[in-house]
Amino acid sequence: MPGPGIESIRVNSCPFVVNFCPINLMKKLLLTLAAGLTVGAALASAAPRIMTIGVVAKSQGNPVFQAARVGAQDAAKELSAKHGLDIRIDWRTPNEEDAQKQAEAIEQLVLAGAEGLAVSCSDANKLTDAINRAVDNGVPVATFDSDAPASKRFVTYGVDDHSCGVQTMAELAKAMHGKGVVAILAGNPNAPNLQQRVQGARDEAKKYPGITIRDVYYHKETPQDAAAKVEQVMQANPDITGWAMIGGWPLFTENALKWQPGTVQCVAVDALPAQLAYIRSGHVPVLLAQQCYEWGHRSVELLIEKIVEKKNPPAVKEVSALVPVTKATVDEFAKNWVKWLPR
């Protein structure tokens, strides 16, 4: 007689014993499970490795940094395909300029496992220690737009700030025919890049005996605060005939320049869509466009070259040229923003 768990089957009058023992069923289940786990592990090993790059810009609301964010995201997609990775951008930018929050974001990104960081420094002095700690923990740091030159960052990407100030004042002096009273609009007084631009503007102004600099005017880097500063200064100094804006903050608002076109000359850095309207209206003869999309794109490229390809840049400073935008070129230049602004 077959034992427990065994059935007898008769085929062509010959008894065959088939084993349906639960133990054997369990063995089959375990073998099936093991095979499934092996396939799962193989699939997991085939998935691209995730690599996180942290980006800390100065402020969320400034469109130049929105363009930088798109540039970083586009670079991540392109380089993911190139290297067989899943490169992700972790954007940790404060809503408004705040160097302390930037420092905290850098520390949080390191703790979260970011493998590289790109930072635009609101205050180099407050961020140098945070950058150095990141590097000491094995996380390379690139700066863009605004550098921390005393830190351990391996590269900085952006305009040559002294040359930017020189070019801004040279274009303004040309528009003013070499004479008049100039105000310099300069944003955050603690930003090292802006300090260098101011110095460049001052140095260039010395070449024009007919030009007098009334003063350098600082302000919170929002369009509303900048526009209010311009209006306040013009009311107190109606003899000003030229503005050297080493950042184009007020031109993000409508009707920021309350004079008739041509009565006061203005040259500004940056050429975002809202600012281009001042070229078209005749209030601004020249805008000097920073390649802000490239701030993000190129910074991520430099980081991946270092992390993945083990390549260091040939120089610590990689200079991005300014692009003059005039009435003759404004419409063609405007097409760039279809790509550069968040989608």
Q: Please state the length of the chain.
A: 343
pLDDT band at 20 (very low <50, low <70, confident <90, very high): very low
What tens digit of pLDDT does each residue of 77-123 get?
999 999 999 999 999 999 999 999 999 999 999 999 999 999 999 99
* pLDDT, mean of residues 179-191: 94
Distance of CA 177 to the CA centre of its chain: 37
What tens digit of pLDDT does each residue of 291-342 get?
999 999 999 999 999 999 999 999 999 999 999 999 999 999 999 888 888 7
Q: pTM (2 decimals)?
A: 0.75
Query: Percentage of the chain with pLDDT > 90?
Result: 79
For residues 74 and 63, which has the higher predicted lDDT (pLDDT)? 74
How much is the pLDDT for 19? 45
Burial of 81 (0-12, 13-18, 19+ CB in 10 A): exposed
- What distance in Å separates the CA atoms of residue 71 and residue 160, rounded to the nearest whole number? 20
- What distance in Å separates the CA atoms of residue 213 and residue 193, rounded to the nearest whole number? 20
